[in-house]
Chain A
Amino acid sequence: MRALALAALLAACNAPSSGPRFRAAGGEPRAGGTLRIAFPGAVSSLDPTIAYDELSFYVLHHLFDTLVDYAPGSFDPIPRLAERWEISDDGRTLRFWLRPGLTFADGKPIAAAHFKYSLERARTTPDSPFGPMLADVVGISAPSDRELVIALGAPNTAFLYVLAMPFATPQREDHVMAAGDNLRRMPLATGPYELGSWDEGQHIVLHEREGYFDPTRNRIGAIDVRENVPRDSQFLMLEAGELDTMMSPTPPDLLWVTSSAAWQPYVHRRSLLTTFGSRFDVTVKPFDDVRVRQALNYALDKSAIVKLLTGTATPAHGILVPGMLGFDDKLAPYPHDPAKAKALLAAAGYPDGFATTYVTTDDADASTLAQSLQADFAEVGVRVTIQQMSFATFATAIGKHGTPFAFVSWLADYPDPSNFLDTRFHSKSISEEGSLNASFYSNPALDALLDSARAERDPAQRAELYRRAERIVHDDAPWLWGYHSIATEVSQPYLKGFDQHPVWLRDFTTAWLDLDVDGERVRR
C-alpha cells in the first residue's frame, strides 16, 4: 500500500518545477544584500596557516588577501596587497612594495614584517601543510614597512604563485598569541570580508569589511554559508529560492537543469586545475612494462567517462590542464583502440591479459569510473577486481608500494606546470611513504628537463620545455590518463558579475545581487 503510494507520488513528481522563482531586477551594479550559499561538508579551520581543503579555501579567499592574486577569470598574476614587485635577473630575489594605507580588520596597519611573520609561521608550525612550499626560501627581510624582500636558494619561477595562497596573507604575532587555540575561529581579516559569526558545522556568516581599500570587491554585503547540506538538498533549496547559487548539482539535477530552458542560462562551467586518472606502480610487474601501460591507455574509453560524468569532464592526454602554460594542443589523448591494446599486451607477453586489483575511493563518482574502467579492460582480457576504501586509507595506500594499480587525482595548488609535473613525476618526489610521485616513476631525462624549466624565466622557452616533458610522460604513461573535471555552478538570475574563477572557483568578489530598491528579490 505504502509502496504503491510511493510509486504514485514519485511518478507525479517526475517533472521538477519550471524555472527560477526570482528574476533580476535589471538595475545597475550595486552594493548590498546577503548572498546565501551552502557547502556539502564543513569548513575545517579559518587559520590560514593550517586550513588546506577546498571548502575552507572558499571562505579564506574572501577573508584574506595576499601580495599577489589572479586577474578575474584568468591565471595571470596581478598585484593585490603589493603595489608592484621586481624579480632579480638571476630569479633569486623577489622584492615587493606594499600598497599604502593597508589595514587589518581591527584597523591596525599592515606592514611588511607581518608577511615575514606569516611565512615563518608556516615554516615553524609543526602541523602546517605549507612549510614544504617554502623550501627554496633562504631569507626574508623587511627593509621598511612597505618593502619586503624574499631570497631564494634556487631560482623558482612559480614562487610568485605560492605567495598568492591564503597562508601567505599578513598575520600579526600579537593576535596569533592572544587568540591561542582559538585562532582557528578568530581570523584577523586582511581581505574584502571579515568573519561575522561561525556556528561550527552549521553556519558561517561573512560581512563586508569597512575600510577595505577596494570597494568593488565586496559589493555583496554579507555571505551566508550553510555547512553540511547534501547536494540534492541544496538543489531543492535553490529551486525553492532559499539559496542564491549552488555548486556541483548531482548528475540528475545537472542533466535536468541544463535541459531546462529557464535555468540553462544560469549554469556556469569552468575547467578546474585537476587531473584524474589511475596510477601504475611502474616498479612492479606487469606495470613495469611501458607496453602494458600504453595498452591500458588505449583500452580506456574516455568518451564513455565524459558521458557517465554527464559532461563535467574533458579527456586528458597528460597531467597539464588545458589553457595553462606548457599544455600541448597538438598532443591528443590516447584513442580508444582495443585492437591496438591487445596487440601491445601480446607484445609484452600477456596475450590473454592478466588479473589485477584496482584500488579506489568509496564516493559515487569513483565507483562509477571504476566500473566503467573494469568493463573497458575486460574487452582486452584484463580482469579487474575493484577495491574501494575510505579516503584516508586510500591516500595512505597509494603513497607507498604494495598497491600496483589505483585511482589517482591531482588538484593543483597553483596554475604552474611545476605543481603538476614536478610534484607527481620528478624522481625527487619519491619517498617510501606518502610518495607524491605515486607511480615511483624515475626518469633522469625528465628530471633534467623539469629542473631547467623550473628556473627558466622566459615564458615561451619555459612552455616549450614543459611541452617536451609532457610528451615524455604521455608516452611513458606512468598514469592511465583520464580526464580533467569541469566545475558546475547554478545560480539565480539576480546573481550578477559572478564568474567561477579558474583558481579560486567560488569567488564572489566580482559579484553583486541585482535586487529591487528595497533590497528584495524580485519574483518572476
Chain B
Amino acid sequence: MIGLVVRRVAWALVVIWFAITLTFVLTAAVPADPTHALLGPHATPETTARAKAHYCLDEGLVVRYGCWLEGVVQGDLGESYRTRRPVADILGDRIGPTMQLAFAAILIQLLVGVPLGILAAIRRGRWPDRACNLVTLLAQSAPSFVVGTIALYVLAFKLGWFPLSGYGVGGLDRLHHLILPATTLAAAGIAFYARVVRSELVEALSEDYVRTARAKGLPESTVVLRHALRNALGPLVTLIGLDLGVLLGGTVIVESIFAWPGLGREVVQAIVDVDLPLILGTVLVTSIAIAIANLVTDLVLLWLDPRLRERR
C-alpha cells in the first residue's frame, strides 16, 4: 500500500515535470518578444537590452529553462511580464475561485445527474428514461458560451434572480454569485453522470445479490439505493477525478462570461500576452491539482474495492 502510494507520487512528479516542460517549449516557440509587453512601443535598443538582462531574457533557451526550474524549486515562480506581480501571488488569488467553481460544478453534477440516472434506470424504457435521455443529450450538445450568455441574460438580467457578474463578498453572497457560472459549467457534465449511474444500475439490478435482496422482501428503494447504487460508486469516483482535471482547465469560458476571478481567465490573458512566467505558473498549479485529484481518486477506489489492491 505504502509502496503503491510512493510509486504514484513519483509518477505524479513526472507528469507535472512533463506538463511544465511541454508548456515551456510550446510557449518559447511562439515568436513574440516579451520586451514589448515590458517596455511598450518606445523601447530603444539600450532599454531593451537592459530589460532583457534584468528578466534573464538574454540567455539561451536551456539556461532560461534552468533558471526558471531553479526558481520553482526555491518557491519563486517569477514575475508576470504584464503586471510585474509575483506569479505566486497571482496564483494564490486565482486558485480559490476556480476550485470553488469546479467543486460546485461537480456537486451540481452529482446532485442532478445521480437522481436522473437512478430515475432512468428504474423506469428504463419508459418515459422518464426517454425524457432523461433527451435532456442529457441536448445538455451535452450545446456550446457552453451560448448556454452561459443566455442564462446570464434570462436568469440574471430579465428575471433578476442572480447577480450579473463578479465574485461576491461573504458566504451567502458568494453562493449567490456562484450558482449561475457553476450550473453553466455543470450543464454538459450532468449528462455523463446520469449515464454512468444509469448503466451501472441497470447492470446491478440484474445481478444475483440484488435479486436476493429483493427476494428477501426489502423495499425497492432500499434495494436500489443500498445495494445497486453501490455498484456505481467506483465509476462515479473515477469520473469525479477526471472531471476535476477537465474543470480546472476548462473554466476558461465560463469565467470570462461571468467575470469570475479564476485561473482560467487569467491564463487565457497570459497566453494572449505571451506572459511566460504566468503561463508556466498556471500550468504548474493546474497539473499539481490534477495529479492530486488522480492520486486521491486512486486511493478512494482502493478503499472502496480492496480487491484492486491485489491486482496491482
Any A–B CB pair closer than 8 Å: yes
A residues apposed to B, CB below 8 Å: 1-3, 6, 9-10, 13, 41-42, 44-45, 47, 50, 52, 126-133, 135, 181, 184, 200-202, 226, 228-230, 232-233, 236-237, 239-240, 242, 390-393, 395-397, 399, 423, 431, 433-434, 436
Q: Is the CB–CB distance between A127 and B266 below 8 Å?
A: no
CB-CB under 8 A from A434, the residues of chain B are 33, 35-36, 41, 43, 48
Interface contacts (Cβ under 8 Å), in number, total: 142
CB <8 Å contact, B165 and A229:
yes
> Can you offer 5 A-B residue contacts whose CB atoms are under 8 A?
A3-B138, A13-B158, A230-B165, A390-B274, A393-B31
Instruction: Give the contacting residue for B154; candidates A9, A133, A239, A431; CB below 8 A.
Output: A9
Asked if A390 meets B51 with Cβ closer than 8 Å, knowing A44-B82, A229-B259, the reply is no
Smallest Cβ-Cβ distance to B256: which chain A residue: A230
**B142 at interface, CB cutoff 8 A:** yes
Query: Is B71 in the interface zone, CB < 8 Å from A?
Result: no
> CB distance A44 to B83 under 8 Å?
yes
Nearest chain B CB to A5 CB, angstrom units: 10
Q: How far is the CA of A393 from the CA of B50 in the complex (A)?
A: 21
Nearest-Cβ distance from residue B166 to partner chain A, whole angstroms: 6
Residues of A within 8 A of B38 (CB): 127, 129
* B210 at the binding interface (Cβ < 8 Å): no
- Cβ-neighbour of A392 out of B32, B149, B256 (below 8 A): B32
**B85-133 interface with A by 8 A CB criterion:** 85-86, 90, 93-94
Contact of A226 (CB < 8 Å), options: B43, B45, B165? B165
Closest chain-B Cβ to A106's Cβ sits at a distance in Å of 23
Q: Contact between B33 and A13 (Cβ–Cβ < 8 Å)?
A: no
| Nearest CB of chain A from residue B6's CB, rounded to whole Å | 38
Q: Are B36 and A396 in contact (CB under 8 A)?
A: yes
Q: How far is the CA of A184 from the CA of B138 in the complex (A)?
A: 48
Closest to A391 in B: B272
Using Cβ atoms and an 8 Å threshold, which residues of chain B touch A242?
164
B257 touches A6 (CB 8 A): no
Choose among B30, B40, B82 the residue with the greatest number of A CB atoms under 10 Å from its CB.
Answer: B40
CA distance A232 to B165 in the complex (A): 11
Complex: A467 Cα to B160 Cα, angstroms: 56
Contact of B44 with A by CB under 8 A: yes
Contact partner, A397, options B31, B43, B135, Cβ 8 Å: B31
Could you list 17 further interchain pairs (A-B, Cβ under 8 angstroms) beyond the known A9-B154, A127-B54, A240-B160? A6-B150, A10-B150, A13-B154, A41-B269, A129-B38, A131-B47, A200-B90, A201-B94, A236-B153, A390-B271, A392-B33, A392-B34, A393-B32, A433-B33, A433-B48, A434-B33, A436-B41
Shortest Cβ distance from A10 into B: residue: B150
Report the minimum CB–CB distance from B228 to chain A (whole Å). Answer: 30
Q: A1-B138, A45-B83, A226-B259 are in contact. Are A132 and B150 (CB under 8 A)?
A: no
Enumerate chain A residues within 8 angstroms of B257, measured Cβ to Cβ: 230, 233
Q: Which of B30, B84, B139, B167 contacts A393 (CB 8 A)?
A: B30
3 closest A-B pairs by beta carbon, nearest first, are A129-B40, A392-B32, A392-B274
Q: Are B265 and A200 in contact (CB under 8 A)?
A: no
The answer to whether A233 and B152 touch (CB under 8 A), given A184-B85, A200-B93, A434-B35, is: yes
For residue B298, which residues in chain A have a CB less than 8 angstroms away from its CB? none
A6 to B141, CA, bound (A): 14
Quote the shortest CB–CB distance from B188 to chain A (angstroms).
13
Check if A393 sits within 8 Å of B274, measured CB to CB: yes
Cα A129 to Cα B94 in complex, Å, equals 28
Chain B positions 277 through 310: 1 when the CB is less than 8 Å from some CB of chain A, otherwise 0: 0000000000000000000000000000000000
Interface centre among B39, B50, B93, B94 (most CB of A within 10 A): B39
Smallest Cβ-Cβ distance to A232: which chain B residue = B149
Q: Does B134 sit within 8 A of A, measured CB to CB? A: yes
B18 within 8 A of A: no
A181 to B84, CA, bound (A): 9
In the complex, residue of chain B having the shortest beta-carbon distance to the beta carbon of A181: B86
Contact A127 B84 (CB under 8 A): yes
A393 neighbours in B (Cβ, 8 Å): 30-32, 274
Please judge, given known A-B contacts A1-B138, A126-B51, A434-B33, whether A237 and B41 are in contact too, CB under 8 Å.
no
Interfacial residues of chain B within 239-268, with CB under 8 A of chain A in the complex: 256-257, 259, 261, 265-266
CA distance A44 to B270 in the complex (A): 12
What is the CA–CA distance of A399 and B45 in the complex, to the nearest angstrom? 13
With A6-B150, A127-B84 as given contacts, are A230 and B33 in contact (CB-CB < 8 Å)? no
Determine whether the beta carbon of A2 is less than 8 Å from that of B138: yes
With a cutoff of 8 Å between Cβ atoms, the chain B residues found around residue A127 in the complex are 38-39, 51, 54-55, 84
**Distance in angstroms between the alpha carbons of A62 and B122 in the assembled complex:** 65
A9–B146 alpha-carbon span in the complex (Å) = 13
- Report A429 CB to chain B, min CB distance, Å: 10
CB contacts (< 8 Å) of B165 on chain A: these are 226, 229-230, 233, 237
Whether B53 is near chain A, meaning CB under 8 Å from some CB there, is yes
Is the beta-carbon distance between A184 and B36 smaller than 8 angstroms?
no
- CB pair B42 A436 closer than 8 Å: yes
Residues A240 and B164 in contact, CB atoms below 8 Å apart: yes
Shortest Cβ distance from B274 into A: residue: A392
Interface centre among B53, B261, B266 (most CB of A within 10 A): B261
Asked if B32 contacts A9 (CB within 8 A), the reply is no
Chain B residues in 8 Å Cβ range of A135: 44
Let me know if B31 and A396 touch, CB within 8 A: yes
| A388 → B minimal CB distance (Å) | 12
Q: How long is the Cα–Cα vector from A181 to B153 in the complex, in angstroms?
A: 41
CB distance from B254 to the nearest CB of A (A): 12
Residues from chain A with Cβ under 8 Å of B30 in the complex: 392-393
Q: Which residues of B contact A131 (CB under 8 A)?
A: 44, 47
Give the chain B neighbours of A44 by CB distance below 8 A: 82-84
What residue of chain A has the Cβ atom nearest to residue B255's Cβ?
A228
Which A residues lie within 8 Å of B83 (CB)?
A: 42, 44-45, 184
CB neighbours of B261 from chain A (8 A): 201-202, 228
